[in-house]
Amino acid sequence: MKVILKEDVKGLGKKETMVEVSDGYARNFLFPKGLAVEASATNVNVMKTKKEAEKQKKDKELANAKALAEKIKSLQVVLKVKAGENGKLFGSITSKDISEKLKSDFNIDIDKKKIVMPDALKTVGTTELEVKIYPEVSTKLTVKIEQA
């Protein structure tokens, strides 16, 4: 019997996939627990429309992420902080500081976890950081730290 899974079932398949199972397994386990529905023509059409809508949504998100990446690439974030004589900062600049500055100056909301920093910035100067916007989309962001 062909069924469409409504949930991930260990050892059988992922959600929204069509699999072949024995009649007894489907009637006695999958259907009563709400894990699957029979693969009738209407249920197959519903599955296909859901997959198409999900694909369109992902394509739109990817396009938005690429546009945001191009916008971020051209920006330069300038942070003015107190520093000592040799250009060493009193404290450090973290991804949270950079995220907040992007939000306040350019109205771009980037999660601090998406800004890749090997370590906190502790000196005056210009640095390029990687920003991972979407799983396949990343860009460089120029951060300039100036002495206040």
pLDDT of residue 62: 95
- The last residue of a domain, from among 65, 93, 119: 65
Are residue 43 and residue 93 in the same domain, yes or no? Answer: no
- The last residue of a domain, from among 45, 65, 85: 65
Q: Which uninterrupted H or E stretch holds 135?
A: none
The CATH number given to whatever domain includes residue 37 is 3.40.5.10
**Per-residue pLDDT tens for 107-136?**
999 999 999 998 999 999 999 999 999 999
Query: Please, which pLDDT band fits residue 10 given cuts at 50, 70 and 90?
Result: very high
Q: What is the mean pLDDT of residues 12-28?
A: 95
Q: Name the residue range of residue 106's domain.
A: 69-147
Predicted TM-score (pTM) of this structure: 0.73
Are residue 93 and residue 28 in the same domain, yes or no? Answer: no
Query: Please, which pLDDT band fits residue 148 given cuts at 50, 70 and 90?
Result: confident
